[in-house]
Amino acid sequence: METKATQMAKPFVFYQLLFEARREASKDLGEKESIYKENILQFTNNTGTISMDIHYTLIEDITTPK
């Protein structure tokens, strides 16, 4: 996930990216599937571009055919 840095405070940008990543990771999850664990690996600001690397552990229902 990346976004251009603006005059926003760093914590606000952090949470904005975190919620955007969470929404993107969970958009294809089924009814009985969910995000189990979320680990932020890196949050950097490099020449105006803010990047965040996140590792998600997901619970997937493999008993129901899709």
Please report, for the chain, the start and end positions of each structural domain, with discontinuous segments joined by +: 2-59
Task: State CA 53 to chain mean position distance.
Answer: 8
Using a pLDDT cut of 70, give the percent of the chain over it.
86
Tell me, what's the pLDDT at 45?
79
What global pTM score does this model have?
0.63
| The pLDDT of residue 12 is above 60 | yes
* DSSP 8-state class, residue 48: T
| The pLDDT of residue 4 is above 80 | no
Please give the mean pLDDT across all residues of the chain. Answer: 80
With cut-offs at 50, 70 and 90, classify the pLDDT of residue 37. very high
Query: For residues 48 and 8, is the Cβ–Cβ distance under 8 A?
Result: no
Pairing label, strands 34-46, 49-59: antiparallel
